[in-house]
Amino acid sequence: MNKIKLTVTLLLFSIVIFSQNIPNYNELMTRTQWWRDARFGMFIHFGAYSVAARGEWVKSNEKMTTEQYQRYIDAFNPIDYDAKKWAKIAKQAGMKYAVLTVKHHDGYCLFDSKLTDYKLSNRFNGRDLVREFLDAFRAEGLKVGLYYSIIDWHHKDYPNVGNHPQAGNPERNKKTYNWDNYLKYMFGQIEELVTNYGKIDLMWFDYSFDDYVGEKWKATELLKMCRKYQPDMITDNRLNGSGDNYSLTYGDFVTPEQAIPEISIKDNQGRLLPWETCLTLNNHWGYVASDQDWKPYEVIIQSLVDCVSKNGNLLLNVGPDGKGNIPKQSIEILKQVGDWMQKNGESIYGCGQSDLAKPEWGYFTKKGNSIYAHWCYPKIGPINVKGVSQKVRTTTLLSNGAELPVSRKWWGLTGEDNFFINTSSPLNHTFLLPDKADAVIKIELK
């Protein structure tokens, strides 16, 4: 098996159609239209944990106390942070939106919250890193989103539960927690985000678990508040539960993590639901200095195409280091992805699932009267696009517009359903796969 194909295959997981009725389905699809057209976004995990360089879960994984974690807070001084540079990297890669972690599970805020002193602006010459992010990405024409962790390992009234670094600690278990007081803090911070920073296109909440789901967070009231100030803003579904939860009781899109569904996600009426896979470039979200296991750009492109072929989005993560630099390996991969997108983005933006069955040599995406055959994996002889032979107007290579030779028969195969696109001429053997990641063939229908 092709190595790249194997890598992508390992990202797949099985799902079932979620048995949920969406009463406001048309409203949901209208609200998410821009996002579904965009298809490709940048996730940015950045915070004091970037200094530790062992991932955003380092406080929990190593059972640190707040006092032990403080050394990373004190050392976090992202002097190289340049939101304009980040925005240009995202745009060049062909991304249409970006989501920044404004507060992760450690509770440390990158925005200038008035409700806590546990924030970067107090130590960063008063600079509000989040405002700079929003201004820079908007200036590049990108939609903007904010990630906010509803759990908080730092707040005094967040209980000693779940993955809290001190969960199970006998001394902390003796403490009394005021859950309503914590929710008041959480609501207050989210209200700051949706009122103080202009138009927010997307809010990414993370995450619910066990009994701490849905109305435990006063999810209905929370989303009502968000809609009051940001009526067009869309939200993920993680108030319902973790990434493997497909409910849209709260939220607008489903969020599989580090995996791509084998089929499109639908409701119990068979209607397509918005979804987005979030994926890392190596094996971690936050910066990990020792993790050099980078995904080849071919895998990223094929993963993006795989998502779009099933009516999904790809949110691709970068983890800047403690000084605010996106790793050079990430930049190099994104540049290669961007070079491909510049030539082939037409087959991604605004595209979705085709009615044709998935071929063994790649994927199909579709937009309007155009089907895009994504030839990703080596194949000897012509590729056969069954079911379009009577409707084709033109067949061209998307990257350069070259017309490709086609036929209805090949070596005795003469069925009316066949439509062979000759990818390797038997006469001179000069037409080879023009892109090792994905050669896109545009089939324009009558």
412-446 confidence digits (pLDDT tens): 777 788 999 987 654 444 455 668 899 999 999 99
Determine which of 17-26, 182-191, 248-257 has the lowest per-residue pLDDT on average: 17-26
- pLDDT score, position 23: 78
The answer to whether 182 and 188 are in contact (CB under 8 A) is no
14 band by pLDDT with thresholds 50, 70 and 90: very low
Count the neighbouring beta carbons within 10 Å of the beta carbon of residue 381: 12
Mind listing the domains of the chain with CATH numbers? 3-347 (3.20.20.80), 362-445 (2.60.40.1180)
Structure-block tokens of residue 411:
């070596």
Q: Among 147, 150, 214, which Cα is nearest to 182's?
A: 150
pTM here is 0.94
The answer to whether 364 and 380 are in contact (CB under 8 A) is no
By DSSP bridging, strand 392-397 and strand 439-445 are: antiparallel
- pLDDT score, position 3: 39
Average pLDDT, the chain: 92
Give CA 177 to chain center in angstroms.
Answer: 34
Determine which of 80-94, 160-174, 275-289, 356-370 has the lowest per-residue pLDDT on average: 160-174
d(Cα 64, Cα 10) in Å, to the nearest integer? 33
- pLDDT score, position 435: 81
Residue 18 has pLDDT above 80, yes or no: no
Per-residue pLDDT of 117-152, as tens digits, reads 999 999 999 999 999 999 999 999 999 999 999 999
Rg of the chain over Cα atoms, rounded to whole angstroms, equals 24
Highest mean pLDDT among 159-173, 295-309, 413-427: 295-309
Per-residue pLDDT of 332-351, as tens digits, reads 999 999 999 999 999 999 99
The answer to whether 260 and 277 are in contact (CB under 8 A) is yes
10 band by pLDDT with thresholds 50, 70 and 90: very low
Residue 371 has pLDDT above 80, yes or no: yes
- pLDDT score, position 16: 43
- pLDDT score, position 9: 39
- pLDDT score, position 6: 36
- pLDDT score, position 91: 98
Highest mean pLDDT among 267-271, 293-297, 420-424: 293-297
Residue 261 has pLDDT above 60, yes or no: yes
Q: Is 174 helix (H, G, I), strand (E, B) or coil?
A: coil
Residue 66 has pLDDT above 90, yes or no: yes
The answer to whether 229 and 199 are in contact (CB under 8 A) is no
Handedness of CA 338, 344, 349, 352 (dihedral sign): negative
Mean pLDDT (whole number) for 211-216: 96
Highest mean pLDDT among 71-80, 172-181, 434-443: 71-80
Residue 24 has pLDDT above 50, yes or no: yes
- pLDDT score, position 15: 43
- pLDDT score, position 432: 54
Beta carbons within 8 Å of 170's beta carbon, 6+ residues apart: none
Residue 307 has pLDDT above 70, yes or no: yes
Residue 56 has pLDDT above 80, yes or no: yes
The answer to whether 443 and 404 are in contact (CB under 8 A) is no
Q: What ranges in 200-324 are assigned the alpha helix state H?
A: 219-229, 297-308
Size of the chain in residues: 446
243 DSSP β-pair partners: none
Q: Is 337 helix (H, G, I), strand (E, B) or coil?
A: helix
Mean pLDDT (whole number) for 209-215: 95
